[in-house]
Amino acid sequence: MHTVSERFMEKRTDNISRIDRLRADRTLPREQLRLLLTTLSEEEAAYLYKNADEVRKEHYGEDVFLRGLIEFTNYCRNDCLYCGIRRSNKNADRYRLTTEEILDCCDKGYVLGFRTFVLQGGEDLFFTDEKICGLVSEIKKRHPDCAVTLSIGERPRESYEAFFNAGADRYLLRHETINPVHYRQLHPEELTIENRVRCLRDLREIGFQVGCGMMVGSPFQTVDYLMDDLYFMAEFRPHMIGIGPFIPHGDTPFHDRESGTLQDTLHLLSVIRLMNPRVLLPATTALGTIHPLGREMGIQAGANVVMPNLSPTGVRDKYMLYDGKICTGDEAAECRRCMELRMEKIGYHVVAARGDSKV
Ligand code: SF4
């Protein structure tokens, strides 16, 4: 007697063959990829997740890497149309953490088992290269076995070199969309995809482990744009890829747009895992915001990183890139414990390790 899923597997659909081919070849011709992304049934999606999960286990086992996120400034000189802390949002309650507060977050995080600290902020030039370098070297001095990741936007190559020389290990800079027309629809004139890609290439050449990525379901996004992103990332071969659903923020021009969906984000996580088997792939807070078990589902679809918040609780609800963000009230220790329990429940284990990329 066969189970339903065994009977389903016997009747191989075109999408099942596409998933097998994607896993074997790490790519698909454009029309095949389009069909896969647009015609997946629920059963086929389950097969896609299963394959992505297996590939992730081949390289990273059941370990889930923890990143301690420190949102140290919500000032930003930019005006990205989708972002709640864009400079023209007069309702944003601005803050900057002091050096001591940032170091305190790291010290507490270290005790809790974090071995990567992600310093994330808007593009805030109050934090000069010198200040950032000072911070990075002090964190590395206190915690030499930890990795420091920066996520502070576009700067000149010389700045990136200085950060790297100060000891920073990784840099996250989502490209958001590789298509220039779409990029223009999401960003003000002064920002260009050319400069963003220049930054990514500089970072990579300097020696950083580099992360890029995009929102899923952002305004004006098409399947073609998404495929362009997938092919760009496969060619660029980043060490990390961050994706999450677009979620509107009430004080932005996109306040009345629909959010990206859980389903599309999970499909893309799996496709990204199959195209980039060794990449570090977070199940993001945005995914946990659109569904209570979003992060768990992300891990089961091929992700292998979670990023609990280490920022002081007093500022958490001020770093609102989008509405409804979760985990704004819990202390760092609670977030850490909560994440551990969530992962154990689905058969994975958070580990106290730097979790470097195997790309
Ligand atoms: S997305 Fe980043 S660069 Fe753009 S406005 Fe928001 S914080 Fe600033």
Which atom of ligand 1 is nearest the CA belonging to 76?
A: 8
Give the tens place of pLDDT for each residue, 37-86: 999 999 999 999 999 999 999 999 999 999 999 999 999 999 999 999 99
The answer to whether the CB of 76 is under 6 A from ligand 1 is yes
- Superfamily of chain region 63-351: Aldolase class I (3.20.20.70)
* C-alpha 79 to ligand 1 mean position (Å): 6
Token pair for 101: 């507060």
β-pairing, 170-172 vs 349-351, is unpaired
Predicted local distance difference test score (pLDDT) of residue 121: 98
Q: Order across the sheet with 349-351: list the strands.
A: 305-306, 63-66, 349-351
- Ligand 1 center–CA 354 separation, angstroms: 27
Bridge partner list, 253:
none
337: CA distance to ligand 1 center in Å?
A: 30
Ligand 1 contact via 123 beta carbon (within 6 Å): yes
285 contacts 322 by C-beta, under 8 angstroms: no
Evaluate: CB of 86 within 6 angstroms of ligand 1.
yes
* Residue indicated by tokens 């071995």: 115
Which atom of ligand 1 sits closest to the CA of residue 121? 7
Amino acid symbol at 329: G
pLDDT digits (tens, 9 = 90+) for 190-205: 999 999 999 999 999 9
Local confidence band at 325 (pLDDT 50, 70, 90 cut-offs):
confident
pLDDT of residue 3: 55
- pTM of the complete model beyond 0.85: yes
pLDDT at 308: 92
DSSP state of 189: T
What pLDDT score was predicted for residue 324?
87
Q: Phi and psi of 114, rounded to 5°?
A: -75, 135
Query: Which of 7-21, 72-86, 225-239, 290-304 is least confident?
Result: 7-21
Q: Whose CA is closest to atom 3 on ligand 1?
A: 78
Window from 32-41, 269-278, 307-316 with minimum mean pLDDT: 307-316
Q: Compute the average pLDDT of residues 9-20.
A: 83
Q: 85 C-alpha to center of ligand 1: Å?
A: 7
The single residue listed with the structure tokens 């409804």 is: 324
Q: How many angstroms does the Cα of residue 84 sit away from the middle of ligand 1?
A: 8
Give all strands (DSSP E) within the chain, no chain letters.
Answer: 63-66, 68-73, 116-121, 147-151, 170-172, 209-216, 240-245, 305-306, 349-351
pLDDT value at residue 316: 87
CA–centroid distance, 175 to ligand 1, in Å, is: 12
pLDDT tens by residue, 281-324:
999 999 999 999 999 999 999 999 999 999 998 898 889 899 88
Quick one: tokens of 141? Answer: 């001095």
Least Cα distance to 288 among 303, 277, 274, 278 occurs for 303
Which run of H or of E encompasses 329? Answer: none
Q: Average pLDDT for residues 22-30, to the nearest whole number?
A: 98
Q: Which two tokens stand for residue 257?
A: 């747009």
Arithmetic mean of pLDDT over the chain: 95
Q: What is the pLDDT of residues 102-135, one digit of tens each?
A: 999 999 999 999 999 999 999 999 999 999 999 9
- Does residue 10 carry a pLDDT above 80? no
Q: How far apart are CA 70 and CA 73, in angstroms?
A: 9
Question: Is the CB of residue 162 below 6 angstroms from any atom belonging to ligand 1?
Answer: no
Gap from CA of 86 to ligand 1 centroid (Å)? 6
Residue 5 in contact with residue 44, Cβ under 8 Å? no
Ligand 1 neighbour 84 (Cβ under 6 A): no
Specify whether the CB–CB gap between 49 and 336 falls below 8 A.
no
- Main-chain dihedrals φ then ψ at residue 349, nearest 5 degrees: -130, 125
| Residue 212, both tokens | 């890029």
